């Protein structure tokens, strides 16, 4: 596809793991974005009509080469029952895309994606899952941990921001 997104979610409390692979194919003749998705794995069990609140959070995407973005984040969700129990999970994401060959490369860079007021509900009567959130892209305000991390990572790995630190992640292949 022209734009591909892979997300792996690991739910520590239940041992569940799900992999979501999305391939975006461009616009169809009606101007609608065409997308195909594969979903593998298991999710934690939820009660019918459960309201999942994942609050405000940030994801940091690191670009190590043209057409590739990576992100790792540790997050929590709670069920809207008001019991205050938080359930931790991690998200590893890879985005690949066809970059314009005529745009001058800007080198490694890191971008922060801020999410706020995120909510997911399932309405069994209509069989609909509803997602709502506000998002905003911003440059990384504080020092990018991968500035130093790139010197540590080997030639077959890429630096990915992980909170205030970094991780070296093996390249595909």
Cα–Cα distances in angstroms (integers) from residue 16 to residues 8, 24, 84, in the given order = 11, 26, 21
Q: Is residue 88 part of a domain?
A: yes
Residue 14 lies in a domain: yes
Using one digit for the tens of pLDDT, what is the confidence trace for 13-67?
899 999 999 999 988 899 988 999 999 999 998 877 777 887 788 898 988 788 8
Burial class (CB in 10 A: 0-12, 13-18, 19+), 13: exposed
Does the pLDDT value for residue 172 go beyond 60? yes
Q: What is the distance between the alpha carbons of residues 96 and 69, in angstroms, rounded to a whole number?
A: 7
Q: Is residue 93 part of a domain?
A: yes
User: So what's the pLDDT on residue 109?
Assistant: 79
Alpha helices, DSSP H, located in the chain: 146-152
Has residue 141 been placed in a domain?
yes
The pLDDT of residue 78 is above 80: yes
Q: Is 149 a residue whose pLDDT tops 80?
A: no
Mean pLDDT of all residues in 93-109: 81
| In-domain check, residue 23 | yes
**Given this model, what pLDDT does residue 83 score?**
64
Does the pLDDT value for residue 82 go beyond 60?
no
Burial (0-12, 13-18, 19+ Cβ within 10 Å), 63: buried
Distance, CA of 113 to CA of 8 (rounded, Å): 18
- Angle at CA of residue 145, ends 140 and 151, nearest 5°: 130
Residue with the larger pLDDT of the pair 121 and 18:
18
Cβ–Cβ under 8 Å, residues 121 and 130:
yes
Does some domain include residue 33?
yes
CATH for 131: 2.40.155.10
Domain count for the chain: 1
In a domain, 142, yes or no: yes
In a domain, 104, yes or no: no
Predicted local distance difference test score (pLDDT) of residue 11:
96
Q: Which domain holds residue 149?
A: 3-99+109-170
- Confirm if 11 and 91 have CB atoms less than 8 A apart: no
């Amino acid at each position: 596809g022209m734009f591909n997104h892979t997300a792996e979610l690991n739910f520590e409390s239940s041992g569940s793991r799900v992999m979501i692979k999305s391939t975006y194919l461009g616009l169809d003749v009606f101007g609608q974005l065409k997308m195909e998705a594969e979903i593998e794995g298991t999710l934690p069990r939820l009660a019918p009509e459960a309201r999942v609140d994942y609050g405000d959070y940030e994801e940091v995407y690191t670009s190590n080469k043209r057409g590739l973005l990576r992100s790792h984040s540790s997050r929590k969700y709670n069920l809207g029952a008001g019991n205050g129990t938080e359930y931790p999970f991690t998200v590893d994401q890879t985005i690949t895309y066809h970059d314009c060959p005529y745009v001058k490369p800007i080198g490694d860079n890191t971008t922060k994606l801020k999410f706020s007021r995120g909510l997911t509900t399932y309405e069994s009567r209509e069989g609909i899952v509803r997602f709502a959130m506000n998002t905003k892209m911003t440059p990384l305000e504080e020092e990018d941990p991968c500035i130093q991390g790139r010197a540590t990572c080997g030639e077959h790995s890429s630096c990915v921001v992980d909170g205030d630190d970094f991780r070296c992640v093996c390249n595909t292949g």
